[in-house]
Amino acid sequence: MKDFPHASEGAAIGIDGLGIRFGHHDVISDLSLDILPGEFLVLLGPSGCGKSTLLNAVAGLIDVHAGTISISGRDVTRAEPKDRGIGMVFQSYALYPRMSVAQNMGFGLRVGGMAKAEIAERVQRTAKFLQLESLLGRRPADLSGGQRQRVAIGRALVRDAEVFLFDEPLSNLDAQLRADLRVEIKRLHQSLGSTMLYVTHDQVEAMTLADRIVVMKGGEIQQIGAPAEIYGRPANLFVAGFLGTPKMNFLEGDVAAESGRRMFRAEGLRLDVTGMLLDNPDFAGPATLGLRPEDLSPAGPGEEAPLAGEVTLTEPLGPETIVWAALGAGQVSLRMGAENFPAPGDRLHIRPDLARASLFDRATGRRL
Amino acid sequence: MATLAGKLPFRPGGAAVALWPAWIIVLCAYLGTMVWTVAVSLTPSKLVPVMQFAGTHQYERLFKTARWMTSVENMLVFGALFIAASMVLGTLMAIALDRKIAAEGVVRTIWLYPYSLSFIVTGVVWQWMMNPSLGIQKSVNAMGWENFRFDWVTDPDRALYAVVLAAVWQSAGLVMALMLAGLRGIDEDLWKAIRVDGIPVWRGYVSIILPVLRPVMVTAVVLLGIAVVKSYDLVVAMTNGGPGMATDVPAKFIMDFLFVRANVGFASGAATVMLVAVAAAIAPWIYAVYLRKR
Ligand SMILES: Nc1ncnc2c1ncn2[C@@H]1O[C@H](COP(=O)(O)OP(=O)(O)OP(=O)(O)O)[C@@H](O)[C@H]1O
Ligand SMILES: [Mg+2]
């Protein structure tokens, strides 16, 4: 993809104290979020957590009952969607069914009173950019899912939007197409430089596309950060468990000081966690130790291995293998190589990489 | 294939057997009577059918009959106005409900209610209401507006419009119900896209939503069209074809010649002309909606 000729600079979005209410049900209350110009921000969270609601509020499609939204420093809380400089792409594509691809892209501009020649030129340029030129005369029904979604992106693109809003744009596509379009959207962002706000519940999409991820639950922001930070240093048990497949392994026990060392103790397990960098180093009490499957490795002969258990299941995935083992403190998974993995029934000694582990306060769920 | 057949809740052969009665009815009752009517129209039959070939005699007579030509003309005017008015009114009401401009429960009941009446009842009610010495005119006159006139049923130039009015009152609700169901089926995201594109609501309906509902509209027009061709009961109840021939329609013409004037061959000729006309009018639609792919 070449650089898009009429790309406009991305705009900053400011959301301050936002409250959204359906009837008497507060879906979002007092939510604040600042999105940088040109940033690719992904809203990630389980179904019903309010991602679409937040996106629709930024688009101006639903009424806000408290707080303000600004785009490019301009307060747009009460502005019509068309006056916000946004383009939007939907999961169901939402193309105009009886119009051709060219009309789908140009109709909004035509209604807006733009000159015919200019519309034709913009549609042409956009179609070229998205490799839709040969499809301009077709109806949406005659397109594949991936092509439809490209047309929907084109419709947002001709508007010269500074902000792109995506609501699960790839969820209706099969796995292969989804991967392809994901790459295309990333390229699109790189060549446009516009601000993109992207809703998904697919963590692979979130990890690969985002500059920053916002993890939401129940209408509240759980954590904001770069993908590596969200993955490596989850702010609470929810975020830790939501990202990553297989899930992070949780071992329940407690943290206590023993003769100057900080120890994590669980059933049949004593780990010296003095070396872990904690925000709350003086904590003592019930805690959960979180270890990613890739942070557990089998101990070689002679190596010290604080964890031991029996292999119960192996899942060879091609490039890697997931090995499940039963410890006294619970079931854990390990990410191992494609070859030389143990068989079910084998005894396994495991070495955790504590520098990459997370500790959570079991009472509050917060990271220590 | 074997596994698929095994999964069906019935054997394909059983379904065919179950459909036999329906096929017998279609073949004997519909096709049989059609063929019989066409055959009789080619005979000089009067009170009772006589099977003797008379060529196109009945058709030549038919098209020289002023009353037939008037009734066809009336039907076309009635049909055009009735269908157009019902479609526009029904669609506007459906949109009003879809936009939540009107309170749905009440309005839907009120508008759909007339459709549950038979045309005979509608005809009688409107005949009373429009009767100058009984209905609206009398009440308004009694309220003090002495010069108010609403005598369409008795005015040869307006009687047909009176029938249209009653028919629209009866059928607009049907169009509304069909269109409302269609509008409710529209993807919510489509409306969001329309808003983001800055397209005004009315423009969204005209250029995007209603074109999507074209199959629903075709269905509504076909249903209304069938009502037009069958229009007999409403006319009989309201005006009995009068004043003069002002509201005469082909169906009434045919019934008169069949049962009152005892001219079976002539009436069959008229019925055959109607059949051919309807088939010619509906064929392209059936093709467009059901047979053409997509
Ligand atoms: N129009 C509405 N009226 C009432 N409640 C609504 C409405 N729209 C959404 N909600 C509620 O608001 C909450 C958030 O919905 P939202 O659509 O934003 O979730 P989401 O995070 O986008 O979920 P998903 O991943 O399933 O799309 C849900 O509990 C939902 O039931
Ligand atoms: Mg959603």
- Residues 130..169 of A with a Cβ closer than 8 Å to B: which? 141, 155, 159, 167
Please check the confidence at residue A81 and state whether its pLDDT lies above 90. yes
**For residue B163, which of B120, B113, B123, B128 has the smallest C-alpha distance?**
B123
User: What average pLDDT does the segment A39-53 reach?
Assistant: 93
Please check the confidence at residue A2 and state whether its pLDDT lies above 60. no
User: Residue B199: which of A83, A98, A111 has the nearest Cβ?
Assistant: A111
Kindly state the tokens that stand for B284. 């392209």
pLDDT at residue B142, rounded to an integer: 80
> What predicted TM-score, i.e. pTM, was given to this entire model?
0.82
Instruction: Look at A112 and B193 and tell me if their CB atoms are within 8 Å.
Output: no
* CB atoms inside a 10 Å sphere around CB A81: 22
User: What average pLDDT does the segment A53-68 reach?
Assistant: 94
State in Å: Cα A51 to ligand 1 middle: 8
Distance from CA of A258 to the nearest CA of B (A): 60
Residues of B in contact with A167 (CB under 8 A): 189
User: What average pLDDT does the segment A291-319 reach?
Assistant: 88
Banded pLDDT at B213 (limits 50, 70, 90)? very high
Kindly state the tokens that stand for B202. 């009315």
B145 or A240, which is more confident? A240
Please check the confidence at residue A263 and state whether its pLDDT lies above 50. yes
pLDDT at residue B8, rounded to an integer: 54
Kindly state the tokens that stand for B167. 């028919």
In chain B, % of residues over pLDDT 90:
20
List, as one string, the DSSP characters of A127-193: HHHTT-GGGTT--GGGS-HHHHHHHHHHHHHTTT-SEEEEESTTTTS-HHHHHHHHHHHHHHHHHH-
Q: Which tens digits make up the pLDDT trace of B173-203?
A: 889 999 999 999 999 999 999 999 999 999 9
Averaged confidence pLDDT in chain B: 83
Instruction: Look at A90 and B189 and tell me if their CB atoms are within 8 Å.
Output: yes
Lining ligand 1 with CB less than 6 A are: A 22, 27, 45, 47-53, 201
State in Å: Cα B146 to ligand 1 middle: 61
Banded pLDDT at B109 (limits 50, 70, 90)? confident
Q: Which of A95-104, A237-246, B151-160 has the lowest mean pLDDT?
A: B151-160
Residue B77 CA to residue A306 CA, distance in Å, equals 94
pLDDT at residue A196, rounded to an integer: 94
Please check the confidence at residue B4 and state whether its pLDDT lies above 70. no
pLDDT at residue B200, rounded to an integer: 94
Please check the confidence at residue A3 and state whether its pLDDT lies above 60. no
Residues of B in contact with A86 (CB under 8 A): 196
Which is the closest atom of ligand 1 to the Cα of A201?
A: 25
User: What average pLDDT does the segment A7-33 reach?
Assistant: 88
pLDDT at residue B2, rounded to an integer: 47
Residues of B in contact with A80 (CB under 8 A): 195, 198
Distance from CA of A81 to the nearest CA of B (A): 5
Contacts of A40 (CB under 8 A, 6+ apart): A186, A189, A195, A196, A198, A209, A210, A211, A212
pLDDT at residue A294, rounded to an integer: 93
State in Å: Cα A202 to ligand 1 middle: 17
Please check the confidence at residue B257 and state whether its pLDDT lies above 60. yes
pLDDT at residue B186, rounded to an integer: 93
Instruction: Of A194-198, B39-43, B234-238, give the range with the top mean pLDDT.
Output: A194-198
pLDDT at residue B11, rounded to an integer: 60
pLDDT at residue A115, rounded to an integer: 93
Residue A173 CA to residue A171 CA, distance in Å, equals 6
Find where tokens 């169906």 sit. B251
Please check the confidence at residue A1 and state whether its pLDDT lies above 50. no
Banded pLDDT at A118 (limits 50, 70, 90)? very high
Instruction: Look at A111 and B198 and tell me if their CB atoms are within 8 Å.
Output: yes
List, as one string, the DSSP characters of A69-123: EEETTEE-TT--GGGGTEEEE-TT----TTS-HHHHHHHHHHHTT--HHHHHHHH
Q: Which of A137-146, A173-182, B239-248 has the lowest mean pLDDT?
A: B239-248
* Geometric angle at alpha carbon B19, from B14 and B22, rounded to 5°: 165
A307-316 β-sheet, strand order:
A296-298, A347-352, A307-316, A321-327, A330-336
Residue B172 CA to residue B194 CA, distance in Å, equals 28
Kindly state the tokens that stand for A107. 């109709």
Closest protein CA for atom 28 of ligand 1: A48
B294 or B137, which is more confident? B137
Cβ(A344)–Cβ(A338) below 8 Å: no
Instruction: List beta partners, residue A199.
Output: A43, A167
The full set of domain ranges for chain B reads: 76-250
> B76-250, which class in CATH?
mainly alpha
User: Residue A94: which of B192, B203, B207 has the nearest Cβ?
Assistant: B192
Residue B153 CA to residue B233 CA, distance in Å, equals 16
User: Residue B212: which of A59, A82, A97 has the nearest Cβ?
Assistant: A97
* CB atoms inside a 10 Å sphere around CB B134: 12
Residue B159 CA to residue B139 CA, distance in Å, equals 20
**For residue A85, which of A95, A70, A96 has the smallest C-alpha distance?**
A70
Instruction: Look at A107 and B207 and tell me if their CB atoms are within 8 Å.
Output: yes
Instruction: Look at B192 and A96 and tell me if their CB atoms are within 8 Å.
Output: no
pLDDT at residue A321, rounded to an integer: 92
pLDDT at residue B12, rounded to an integer: 62
Q: For residues B188-212, b (16+ Cβ closer than 10 Å) or e, as one string? A: ebbbbbbbbbbbeeeebbebbbbeb
Give the residue from chain A lying closest to B204, CA to CA: A96
Cβ(A13)–Cβ(A195) below 8 Å: yes
Tell me the best of A44, A49, A201 to mutate to test the pocket of ligand 1, counting ligand atoms within 8 Å of each CB and taking the most: A49
Instruction: Look at B198 and A88 and tell me if their CB atoms are within 8 Å.
Output: no
Instruction: Look at B196 and A88 and tell me if their CB atoms are within 8 Å.
Output: yes
Tell me the best of A20, A43, A53, A165 to mutate to test the pocket of ligand 1, counting ligand atoms within 8 Å of each CB and taking the most: A53
pLDDT at residue B279, rounded to an integer: 85
Residue B178 CA to residue B95 CA, distance in Å, equals 11
Please check the confidence at residue B146 and state whether its pLDDT lies above 80. no
pLDDT at residue B156, rounded to an integer: 79
Mutate to test the interface with B, among A89, A90, A165 (most CBs of B within 10 A): A90
Residue B190 CA to residue A148 CA, distance in Å, equals 14
Residue A127 CA to residue A145 CA, distance in Å, equals 17
pLDDT at residue B119, rounded to an integer: 79
**For residue B62, which of B254, B262, B229, B276 has the smallest C-alpha distance?**
B254
pLDDT at residue B178, rounded to an integer: 92
Instruction: Look at A90 and B294 and tell me if their CB atoms are within 8 Å.
Output: no
Q: CB distance from B215 to chain A under 8 Å?
A: no
A66-71 β-sheet, strand order:
A25-35, A13-22, A66-71, A74-75
User: Residue B196: which of A82, A107, A111 has the nearest Cβ?
Assistant: A82
Question: For chain B, how big is the Rg over CA atoms in Å?
Answer: 24
Distance from CA of A107 to the nearest CA of B (A): 8
B5 or A172, which is more confident? A172
List, as one string, the DSSP characters of A230-242: HHHS-SBHHHHHH
Distance from CA of A149 to the nearest CA of B (A): 13
User: What average pLDDT does the segment B152-169 reach?
Assistant: 84
B282 or A189, which is more confident? A189
Residue A319 CA to residue A205 CA, distance in Å, equals 20
Q: Which tens digits make up the pLDDT trace of B41-61?
A: 888 777 777 777 777 777 888
Domains, chain A, in order of start with CATH, read 13-237 (3.40.50.300), 245-361 (2.40.50.140)
pLDDT at residue B233, rounded to an integer: 82
Please check the confidence at residue A250 and state whether its pLDDT lies above 90. yes
Instruction: Look at A108 and B198 and tell me if their CB atoms are within 8 Å.
Output: yes
pLDDT at residue B7, rounded to an integer: 55
Query: Helices in B99-187 by DSSP H: which ranges?
Result: 104-112, 119-130, 136-142, 159-184
Banded pLDDT at A5 (limits 50, 70, 90)? low
User: What average pLDDT does the segment A230-252 reach?
Assistant: 93
Which is the closest atom of ligand 1 to the Cα of A45?
A: 21
Instruction: Of A74-83, A300-309, A338-347, B258-267, give the range with the top mean pLDDT.
Output: A74-83
Question: For chain A, how big is the Rg over CA atoms in Å?
Answer: 25
Q: Which of A194-198, A343-347, B265-269 has the lowest mean pLDDT?
A: B265-269
User: What average pLDDT does the segment B150-162 reach?
Assistant: 80
Residue A43 CA to residue A13 CA, distance in Å, equals 14
